Amino acid sequence: VSRVLVTGAEGFVGRRLVQRLAATGAHALTLVDRALPAAREEARRIQGDIADTAVLAAAIEAPPDLVFHLASLPGGAAEADPKASRRVNLDATLNLFEAAADTGRRARVVYASSIAVFGAPLPPAVDDYTPAEPTLTYGAHKRIGEIALADWSRRGVLDGISLRLPGIVARPRQGAGFRSAFMSEIFHALAAGETYELPVGPDATVWAMSLSRCVENLLHAGLMTTPGEGRALTLPAVRARMDALVAAIAAEAGVSHDLVNYAPDAALQAQFGSQPPLSTPAAEALGFRHDGGLEALVQAVLDDPDVRHKEPHP
Amino acid sequence: VSRVLVTGAEGFVGRRLVQRLAATGAHALTLVDRALPAAREEARRIQGDIADTAVLAAAIEAPPDLVFHLASLPGGAAEADPKASRRVNLDATLNLFEAAADTGRRARVVYASSIAVFGAPLPPAVDDYTPAEPTLTYGAHKRIGEIALADWSRRGVLDGISLRLPGIVARPRQGAGFRSAFMSEIFHALAAGETYELPVGPDATVWAMSLSRCVENLLHAGLMTTPGEGRALTLPAVRARMDALVAAIAAEAGVSHDLVNYAPDAALQAQFGSQPPLSTPAAEALGFRHDGGLEALVQAVLDDPDVRHKEPHP
């Protein structure tokens, strides 16, 4: 049994990851989040903000062998409140890494980074050599976390791996703070047979990954025997044009794609809907995977009980 | 009269920069350093560690229009004590930037970064597109400072510019903490007619800049009307093979190059003596300059009263 710490355990990704970890029974779990409403699984539960030093001390008290650091202030909220982003996405992140390093256990640390480390506009193609030049506060702070984790890993006191996540779909509706929310909203709207106005054009292109695939990749990063060695890996993702994504969702949901209206916001499309061809051989060589294709992605998302069986949005 | 804040004002670079700023008479100076022994120029003087919040508050009390952030824990010391490096090179640096941003004056901030943001081994050539992938704690923390400064600049609350300094010569003898000290020691030794054992081979290659040229570049960054816009610029530098550098110093100092013995340390040479051809068009377009060539570099260094007229090392 290894000791596993999950921050942001009650978040969109965290909740599903914890379910999967708990199902294996092989881990002593410590869960941290600002709200931990119900004890769904056997775990040490620490309710509070990871940016609070007492919460961090409690989280690390039983030194973990494996840390999934998912807690973060999302991109839109970070842009609106850079001081809060510094506190959570930068200072608390580095404090957590340093505290884990100080335990002397050389813990595997899986850090949920983001494609936001690449600024906008993106180059004509993105690959493992594309420099990380963030252009939003969220991406800047994520990149700082990657650099710090790589340095502690190089020093041999952590075994870190940063995963640059693409758009994970479908986040719950009204998931505040993500300006890229349209990528999730489109699934919820069509699954519920509602109209939806997309803030990008049919020619917009996005990198996407289903929640279930994201969780499998996180688990792989945590449990693979290859050392993390501080790598910052851009994960493979399905790249889709927005009109093709709409058509695939509509077909799978059994509704008309005419429910969707395009009202492009040029600035938003430039930031979140202009994702070029993506090549990720480093991550693939280590066993990380995308959903397999557009239809597989859409099916994985619509098969998700949190999407398919959700009550229609009022 | 503009208000100018200099951190690390009593350091190797800071002292000379302050002399130059004071000579113009156009600036109200605030100087910060852990020790400020003698009042050489008219200035507000704050003795203390910039990592101390009271010192930072005092430094920023009269809101500066221009900040030269030179204070840092050097590379060797940072590698030996990463917590101290985090405190000074990372947290205090970000605290200073944030405090300057909070004044609402959109201060020009000139940040002394370092070629250490490029890790070792370096690629076969370095240019403005070479990604910054640090491999020492010092370089990691400098890169973090660059990213944070660029983000505050993008937000329009600072007008920052990060200058990646090459080896600045000649630092005072026994300048603790710099593993690349050999680049300075060789000047002092030959100027004093002493023997010196170089820890790199004759084929080692280094990027170097004289102290006086470095100070001119810092002043240019501070006073140029072009906005900094958060740029991180690799400065032009003279690149020299170690045997050519030795020959040029010996010729200028009027001593034999036989005073020098080569005892290469492979690891040290890989880290500090394997600097490939360097191309810096972005900095040059903005008016930053190197010393002009190997002989001009050597002459500038040996003309420096702190090098030429120094008492021989006991």
Q: How far apart are CA A77 and CA A88, in angstroms?
A: 11
Tell me which DSSP letter residue A224 carries.
Answer: -
Does B94 sit within 8 Å of A90, measured CB to CB? yes
> Which of A131, A140, A148 minimises the CB distance to B148?
A140
Residue bearing tokens 């945590």: A222
- pLDDT confidence band for A177 (50 / 70 / 90): low
Percent pLDDT > 90 in chain B is 87
Average pLDDT over residues A33-37: 91
Minimal C-alpha gap between A31 and chain B (Å): 27
| B231 Cβ under 8 Å from any chain A Cβ | no
pLDDT score of B290 more than 50:
yes
The answer to whether the Cβ–Cβ distance between A135 and B143 falls below 8 Å is no
Percent of chain A with pLDDT over 70: 96
Angle in degrees, CA A112, A166, A215, rounded to 5: 55
| pLDDT score for A68 | 98
Comparing CA positions, the residue from A116, A39, A104 lying closest to residue A76 is A116
Q: Is the pLDDT of residue A154 over 70?
A: yes
Q: Which of B209, B293, B204 is nearest to B242 (CA)?
A: B204
Count of other CB atoms within 10 angstroms of residue A3: 17
> Would you state the pLDDT for residue B313?
46
Q: How far, in Å, are B6, B17, B82 from residue B69 at the CA level?
A: 6, 11, 20
- Residue predicted with more confidence, A151 or B25: A151
Say whether pLDDT at B314 is over 70: no
Q: Is the peptide bond before A283 cis (omega within 30 degrees of 0)?
A: no
Instruction: Tell me whether A126 touches chain B (CB under 8 Å).
Output: no
Picking from B82, B144, B148, the nearest residue to A155 by CB comes out as B82
pLDDT band at B1 (very low <50, low <70, confident <90, very high): low
> Which residues make beta-bridge pairs with A193?
none
CB-based contact (8 Å) between A90 and chain B? yes
The residues near B77 (Cβ < 8 Å, ≥ 6 apart) are B84, B85, B176, B177
Write down the catalytic residue from B129, B138, B196, B262. B138
The pLDDT assigned to A174 comes to: 73
Closest residue, chain A, to B130 (C-alpha): A131
Is the model's pLDDT at B309 over the cut of 80?
no
Element (H, E) at A33: strand A27-33
Say which residue, A40 or A20, is predicted with more confidence. A20
User: Does position A140 have pLDDT exceeding 80, yes or no?
Assistant: yes
Is pLDDT of A314 > 80? Answer: no
pLDDT given for residue A313 in this prediction: 46
pLDDT of A179 reads 66
Q: Residue A220 has which token pair? A: 């792989």
Answer yes or no: do A147 and B140 touch at CB < 8 A: yes
Closest partner residue to B151 among A137, A151, A155, by Cβ? Answer: A137
pLDDT at A40: 80
Task: Name the residue facing B140 among A86, A135, A148 (closest C-beta).
Answer: A148
Q: Which residues make beta-bridge pairs with A112?
A: A163
- What pLDDT does A26 receive? 82
Q: What residue of B is the nearest CA neighbor of A151? A: B137
What ipTM does this complex have? 0.94
Contact flag B144-A147 (C-beta cutoff 8 Å): yes
* Burial degree of B104 (CB within 10 A; 0-12, 13-18, 19+): exposed
* Higher local confidence (pLDDT), B120 or B160: B160
| Mean pLDDT, range A84-91, rounded to an integer | 98
Q: What is the mean pLDDT of residues A112-139?
A: 96
CA distance A148 to chain B (A): 7
The reported pLDDT for the residue numbered A37 is 82
Average pLDDT score, chain A: 94
CB contact under 8 A, B140 and A134: no
Residue A83 clears pLDDT 70, i.e. is over it:
yes
- The residue-averaged pLDDT of A99-123 equals 96
CA dist B80 → A31, B73, B74, B85 (Å): 34, 11, 10, 9
Give me B289's structure tokens: 């300059």
Separation of CA A169 from chain center = 10
CA dist B71 and B97 (Å) reads: 13
Average pLDDT value for residue range A35-41: 83
pLDDT at A307: 86
Q: Is A119 on the interface with B (CB under 8 A)?
A: no
Asked which of A20-24, A292-296, B217-221, B231-235 is least confident by mean pLDDT, the reply is A20-24
A72 and B CB contact within 8 Å: no
Contact between chains at B140 and A131 (C-beta distance less than 8 A): no
Question: Which tokens belong to B146?
Answer: 């660059």
CA gap A129, A126 in Å, rounded: 8
For residue A26, count other CB atoms closer than 10 A to its CB.
11
Write the residue in A140, A151, A152 that is nearest to B151 by C-beta.
A140
Cβ neighbours of A142 in B, within 8 Å: none
Q: Residues B43-66: pLDDT tens digits?
A: 999 999 999 999 999 999 999 999
A80 and B CB contact within 8 Å: no
